[in-house]
Chains A and B, each alone.
Chain A
Amino acid sequence: MAILRYATLRFITMLLTLLVVSVLIFIIINLPPGDYLSNQLTELRATGQEAGIAKAEFMYHEYAMDRPLWEQYTIWMGFTPGPQGYSGMLQGDFGWSFEFDRPVSEIVGEALWLTVLVNVAAVLFVYLVALPLGVLAAAKAKTWVDYTSSFVGYLGLATPNFLLALMLFYYGHRYFDLPIGGLMAPELEGEPMSLEKVKSILVHLIVPTFVIGTAGAAGMMQRLRANLLDELGKPYVETARAKGLPPAKRLWKYPLRMAFNPFVADIGNLLPSLISGSVLVSVVLGLQTIGPALLTALKTQDQFLAGFILLFVALLTLVGTMISDVLLMLLDPRIRYGGRD
């Protein structure tokens, strides 16, 4: 019951945070002077293309760019209705991308889910790799097992992502017949979901997951090792030894549980770094995530597209922290009952 209440409370604060973030995003996007449409209008006027001017002016009005900034914000968010039926984010109208000349929803549509997919896969990869390696390194501290896993970890941390990507593509293709680039076979793009498409996506996911996750996994592994080593020297581990618990159970039941807290708390931190890191990787690997679109949108001041993507990333991060907070509460009674006595 307490957990449900906590989760609800946490959800409400998350929504409030998201609101603040949306204001920040909107301000930051509008900070540089000018916007996409006025830039385009100047350019069109200079070259005298009347038809284009009319269209741009129509858009300018339709998306309320002639209103004061705060009104633009409320209209974008959908708190107040815009002119001529533009209803805003809350109503599910994400606006228009001027650069691609298509609705934002159409551009990000599939990319959105692929982004989530790639990043969730990367997070899973990070945890699946870091957990056993970190525990192993701590349990066999100061032996060759520890040194080897640390060495591999540092290699992973130090290798630039794009270099790793190129190497993996080359060798993966040569020896394991892995596909190069993209998140699915080109002929399946735009097709409805099918078993074949799922299979294709999964095969294409292998290299990107590895590339995006390696650095995170290496860092996480080192943190887990350090935390676990700290815990292993604590008196309660000695108590467990004195009880006669066999070594494996002793390790996972007591110190690992304790070392798990920072491990879980990292979910929230991991997501934003993975996503911003994966923007470049997506460009290099030609992944159809929203990364490349975000890059273009930011460069050309395509405000609705950039705004939407940034807000989406913020949402992912907030959901990540919320998940880790709720998990921590489930894991650690001290947090659950904090302040009860």
Chain B
Amino acid sequence: MTALLQVKNLTISFKSDPPVVDDVSFTVNAGKTLALVGESGSGKTLCCRAILQLLPKAANVKSQGVFLNCNDAGALNLSELPRKQMRDIRGNQISMIFQEPMQSLSPLHRIGNQVSEILTLHKNISNRDAKAQVLEQFERVGFHNPERVFRAYPFELSGGMRQRAMIAMATVAKPDLLIADEPTTALDVTTQAQVLGLIKELQKETGMSVIFVTHDLGVVANMADSVVVLHRGSVMEAGQVEYVIGAPAHKYTQKLFAAAPVIPAATEIEPPVPQDDLILEMKSVSKTYHVRAGSFWSPSIDIKAARDINLSVARGKTLAVVGESGSGKTTCARMVLGAEKPDEGGKISFCGEKGGVALDVNDLQSDQCTLFRQQLQPIFQDPYSSFNPRMRVVDALTEPLDINNIGNRSQRRDRAVEVLEWVGLDSRILYRYPHAFSGGQRQRLSIARALAMNPVFLVCDEPTSALDVSVQNQILCLFEDLQKRMGLSYLFISHDLAVVSRIADEVAVMHHGQVVEQAPPCTLFHNPRHPYTQALLAAQPEPDINRPINLEVVAKGAGSPDSWPEMFRSIETKSPPLTEIEPGHRVRCHA
């Protein structure tokens, strides 16, 4: 087996700080995939940039060489290459895909222009030939109408389509090595499965090598031939995927495995959650947004973000809502919070105390409203932007008390110390500013802030999506612990079935604003009926090389509803009813 790229003893540091990448070596074999695995801050992205010499000027790079094996010229040491020659290699022999397809393409240039630029830059061919090749590549990455994509601007495409365009851009020049830096992290799980499949397919066709950077062991198991596990800039474990994934030897790798949420292999159905004491009930709730049309005289468009939602949360239990972006799950959460009013005819009632009077969320008297807002608290996805950077921890935590005129100054402070303790943080941090904390700590802070008001219900909108697996694991434990201790009820929004399987008592799968299947988690995993649920389950990458993603199931369920079996399809515009097929298990299908 021939080595295509060899990185020898790479060390990167900034200023005089200890190195962020410390003596890392790895080899990428021709036609094979190497996975760089690690959590945020492990230095995996820096390693990739170092290969392409894309590090910021302040970075201090030392190595015994980064050797690229070129067939005609022998091995080339990239770390000593003059800038101009390096530019010839970038995009031509080594190309890169980035994490954020939304921001990695220029919003002002047509996709075709940005992609064909690579060819005109490196291959010395006419614009016309370049366009022909680009169109061909577009077709290969799965665009049905390449000509239209060629003329489209990035904002006209969805996230998955943009990432396809990025992949087309990175592969159109037929590079020897493709570096993919978390290319699927920002994508929905079904889209992720398709993109992973696409990269594999392109690799098979062209025989290129791939460096795949990820934090997801499931993705590694699906993609890699060999694995390098990084932690704080050092290699923890490296080797063939069978060994690293199959029998991890290093403690850190084992820890990663233990933290990775897995969909349990369910063998039997679960009894339904008793519905006698409900804290929240949504009855035929819909939400339609009127979108003003672009031009003056065309009519506005109605977008049905949620259609006829009937969901309820039993006291002390967790209802999880699962779906892709745009499925309406966040709209649901916002309506529950009272931040958005449902369409006429829908009703959301909330009953804060056992046996108390149920409040109509959309018709609250002002004193009811105060109570409602205290009993129900939100937790958001992005812990980085949900804090005011200019407010100290103590101010952020006491602000809700302050607004509601609860207690005096010192009582509020005591309360802040108390809630910090609940979420496992020390009271010494009270006078620090949010920037001093990591993502996980910030998410703990936002939970603490929500708890300050002594709520009975938390609406969590993807609370762990922005976190590393091990941190995600801790936060999930915290949620479970709080529920046990305080009897909290959760509405838990997520796109990750594995996370949901752990925390939920009941799961509702949403697709295009509708609940398509609803059941307790074990029942759902044991007996998924709806093609979309099956696609979601199939698309979940498992950290097990013997259980690769079944792309056929994914494509069938996640594609257009027209590809579903007849019993799940809408008749004209009327979708099938939600039918109970076994106790507590409802599926949207014709009986």
Contacts and interface: CB of A to CB of B under 8 A. Distances in A.
Given A242-B52, A242-B54, A257 B156 contact: no
Given A331-B108, A337-B156, A244 B91 contact: yes
B152 to A, nearest CB: 10
Given A234-B103, A239-B98, A242-B54, A337 B153 contact: yes
A5 B105 CA distance: 29
Given A242-B54, A243-B118, A236 B105 contact: yes
A244 B122 CA distance: 8
B26 interface: no
A236 B106 contact: yes
A61 interface: no
Contact of A340 (B52, B88, B156): B156
A258 B87 contact: no
A331 B153 CA distance: 13
A79 B194 CA distance: 67
A331 B121 CA distance: 24
A241 interface: yes
Contacts of A9: 296
Given A244-B89, A337-B153, 14 more contacts: A235-B98, A236-B104, A236-B106, A239-B98, A241-B54, A242-B52, A244-B86, A244-B92, A253-B109, A331-B108, A337-B156, A338-B294, A339-B292, A339-B295
Interface in B259-305: 291-296
The residue among A239, A257, A331, A339 with the most chain B CB atoms within 10 A of its own CB is: A239
Nearest to A236: B106
B96 interface: yes
B21 to A, nearest CB: 18
A216 to B, nearest CB: 26
B177 to A, nearest CB: 12
B479 interface: no
Interface string A231-250: 00011101111111110000
A240 B90 CA distance: 10
Contact of A236 (B103, B121, B296): B103
Contacts of A340: 156, 294
Instruction: Give the interface size class of chain A.
Output: 20 to 34
A143 to B, nearest CB: 11
B242 interface: no
B100 interface: yes
Nearest to B118: A243
Given A334-B107, A340-B156, A242 B92 contact: no
A241 B52 CA distance: 9
B117 A243 contact: yes
A258 B108 contact: yes
18 contacts: A236-B106, A236-B107, A238-B104, A239-B104, A239-B105, A240-B106, A243-B118, A244-B88, A244-B118, A245-B87, A245-B121, A258-B107, A258-B108, A333-B108, A333-B110, A337-B156, A337-B294, A339-B292
Interface in B65-109: 86-92, 95-96, 98, 100, 103-109
Nearest to A239: B104
A254 interface: yes
B104 to A, nearest CB: 5
B104 A235 contact: yes
A334 B91 contact: no
A332 interface: yes
B294 A242 contact: no
B378 to A, nearest CB: 29
B380 interface: no
Contact of B121 (A244, A258, A332): A244
A341 interface: yes
Nearest to B105: A236
A245 B117 CA distance: 9
A1 B90 CA distance: 40
The residue among B106, B107, B109, B291 with the most chain A CB atoms within 10 A of its own CB is: B106
Contacts of B108: 257-258, 331-334
Interface in B34-54: 52, 54
Interface in B102-143: 103-110, 117-118, 121-122
B387 interface: no
A340 to B, nearest CB: 5
Nearest to A338: B294
Contacts of B106: 236, 239-240, 254, 257-258
A246 B90 CA distance: 11
B537 to A, nearest CB: 30
A2 B295 CA distance: 9
Contacts of B291: 339
A244 to B, nearest CB: 4
Nearest to B88: A244
A163 B559 CA distance: 71
Contacts of B252: none
The residue among A2, A258, A332, A334 with the most chain B CB atoms within 10 A of its own CB is: A334
B19 to A, nearest CB: 22
Contacts of A341: 155-156
A138 to B, nearest CB: 15
Given A339-B291, A340-B156, A238 B90 contact: no
A248 to B, nearest CB: 12
A339 B98 contact: no
Contact of A244 (B90, B103, B296): B90
Which 6 A-B pairs rank lowest in CB-CB distance, beginning with the nearest?
Answer: A339-B294, A244-B90, A243-B91, A244-B91, A244-B87, A235-B103
B297 to A, nearest CB: 10
Interface in A231-289: 234-236, 238-246, 253-254, 257-258
Nearest to B292: A339
B156 A242 contact: no
Interface in A1-50: 2, 5, 9
B87 A246 contact: yes
A341 B52 CA distance: 37
A71 to B, nearest CB: 35
A294 B153 CA distance: 49
A243 B104 CA distance: 12
A169 B292 CA distance: 56
Contacts of B166: 239
A235 B52 CA distance: 15
Contacts of A241: 54, 90
Contacts of B87: 244-246
